Structure formats: C-alpha cells, structure tokens
A and B are shown apart, each in its own frame.
Chain A
C-alpha cells in the first residue's frame, strides 16, 4: 500500500473563490486519480493526474473548473475554481502503488461552499 496525505483536511469557502487541494504520497507512483464524493453519494472519478502531461478528465469535468497539476511522481494538486455551493463535496486523491489495480485513498478534503 502507500501512505497518502491531503491538505487541507477541510475548508469552508465563499462562492466565487478557488481552493487548491494537495495530495502527497510517501513513494513514487505512476497512477494518481482525483475523485469527488457528494453528500450521500458514492465516489465519482474527476480525472487521472498524469505526470508530465495534461490530466485526463472524465465526462462532465473540465480543466477550467478543476485544473490539476502533477509535477512529480509523489505529488499532485486539484484546484476547484469559481466555487458554487454545488461543489460542496469530499475530494479524494488515490494512487495505484503496484502492478495490480488496487487503489488506495487519501483521507479526503471536506469542502463546504457558502
């Protein structure tokens, strides 16, 4: 497995502002993902964070709203831009540390937009 940390753990933000979430892994990993979990819902994939190239976004998510950086194999950031109350969610990063498809999740960032 891998040890994953996220910052901040929670935040309350005003609409129209942006928040950048950091994800740090204790070892180099090729695959890193960002998910969203809205209240009472399951997880939805936002994008795959690719090291050295642009992130790959899922349907319904765009780079202008959720820009992602992946400067190296242990770190990534997700920015939630121009926030609205509908962006209130838990945002989680995950990694695939080995050859198999098993994924491990960070503790999540709980975002509330007022």
Chain B
C-alpha cells in the first residue's frame, strides 16, 4: 500500500465549478499535512498547510480527519488558472516529505 494515495484524475471541470480532492495516508504517526500545487514542468509550490481544525484560504478549504487518515481539498469557483496537479503531502516527523502521486485538474472555459 502506498504511504499517500490520491486519485490521479484527471478532473475536468467547467469554470466556476466546485471540485474536491481526497487523499489517504497510511502512517498514523504522521504529524503535518500539506497540499502543494505543481504546474507542468515547474517545481511544487506550497498551496496550504492542513490543520486539524480545518483551514480556509480564499477559495480553497482543506480538511483533515485523523481518525480516518484522510485529507481533502475543496476548490470553489474554479478558475482556468487553477489547472495544475495537486499533490497531497505528509510529514511523519523526519522533516522530509512523502508525496502522493498527484491529482490533475483541468478547468475548462
């Protein structure tokens, strides 16, 4: 079983739609959780950290369920510029990160 599992997609959605990505992790000792965004041929960029209480940043909302070992990312009012691969990332306390394989989003006009 992979340490971090994501649906690879692609998710094809129209502009203005709401889209949700899910991610599960296998190590119950995981301590920190993140969503990164990676554009084609670019490095991953931190989108947001995920806190136990859930957190929101503009159109983006992240949720963590430790009991189910599950992380989600909700994007509201999708823009064309949101098209990218979204990486679910987990830290088990060693400071290095474990990456999911990514979920590709394509927002269409």
In the complex, chain B residues whose CB is within 8 Å of the CB of A96: 95
Contact pick for A101, options B32, B87, B102, CB 8 Å: B32
Q: Is A3 an interface residue (CB 8 A)?
A: no
Tally B residues with Cβ within 8 Å of A.
21
The docked-state distance in angstroms from the alpha carbon of A94 to that of B96 is 9
A2 to B98, CA, bound (A): 21
Is there an interface contact between B101 and A41, defined as CB atoms closer than 8 Å?
A: yes
Question: Looking at the complex, which one of B34, B41, B43, B100 makes contact with A105 (CB distance below 8 Å)?
Answer: B43
* Residues on B with beta carbons closer than 8 Å to the beta carbon of A103: 46, 97
Q: Which of A101, A105, A106, A110 contacts B95 (CB 8 A)?
A: A101
Interface string of B56-100 (1 = CB under 8 A from A): 000000000000000000000000000000010001001111111
A10 to chain B, nearest CB (A): 10
Closest CB-CB distance, A62 to chain B, in whole Å?
Answer: 17
Q: B44 an interface residue at 8 Å Cβ cutoff?
A: yes
Do B32 and A42 have beta carbons less than 8 Å apart?
Answer: no
* A63 CB-CB contact with B under 8 Å: no
**B95 touching A43, Cβ below 8 Å:** no
Shortest distance from the beta carbon of A67 to any chain B beta carbon, whole Å: 19
Indicate with 1 or 0, residue by residue over A96-111, a CB within 8 angstroms of chain B CB atoms. 1000111111111010
What residues of chain B have their CB less than 8 Å away from a CB belonging to chain A? 31-32, 34, 41-46, 49, 87, 91, 94-102
List of 9 A-B pairs having minimum Cβ-Cβ separation, nearest first:
A105-B43, A101-B32, A42-B99, A101-B91, A43-B99, A42-B101, A45-B96, A31-B95, A108-B43
